[in-house]
Amino acid sequence: MKARLAASAALALGIAIGGTGCGMVTYQATTERYDPSDGVSAEVGSLAVRNILIISEDGDEGSMTLSVSNSGSEDATLELQVGSETVEVDVDAGQTVAPGAGDEEPLLIEGLDAEVGGLVPVFVTTDGAEGREISVPVLDGRLPEYEDLVP
């Protein structure tokens, strides 16, 4: 009787683990951070750069739009180098700025030399932090949300 009870308990435990334990060993895609929009993101120093992209009609001149949040306790300047041109975005401590969003003007990039629909390397850095290069998408104004950003 005890053997039968032990076998039943072991079988029930095996079924319970087999039916519910797969989440313990299976890869969970929801734990991965990703960019849910058309742009890309980067972290540099205390700055979080989100949804950075360039809008251009011909690949020669473009409007860069992005969002930058400063989680630090000091003001910071984000430097973005595209080819030979460098643009800067000042971000106060604990604040977020978004050139190209709402009433904010986008950052104008001249001499872009990029292919619309492709990627362009952008080097991002800030005060005293190690910079990094990211591949930023270059889009045109076909989508309604970008048509007003075409330079």
Q: Which two tokens stand for residue 99?
A: 């050139």
pLDDT of residue 101: 85
pLDDT of residue 71: 94
pLDDT of residue 18: 66
pLDDT of residue 22: 60
pTM score of the predicted model: 0.77
Residue 27 falls in which region: left (phi positive, over 0), alpha (psi -120 to 50) or beta: beta
pLDDT of residue 30: 75
Domain boundaries, the chain: 2-31, 40-149
Ranges of residues in the chain with a pLDDT under 50 are none
CA distances from 1 to 6, 11, 15, 46, 79 (A): 9, 15, 21, 66, 76
Write down the CATH number for the domain with range 40-149: 2.60.40
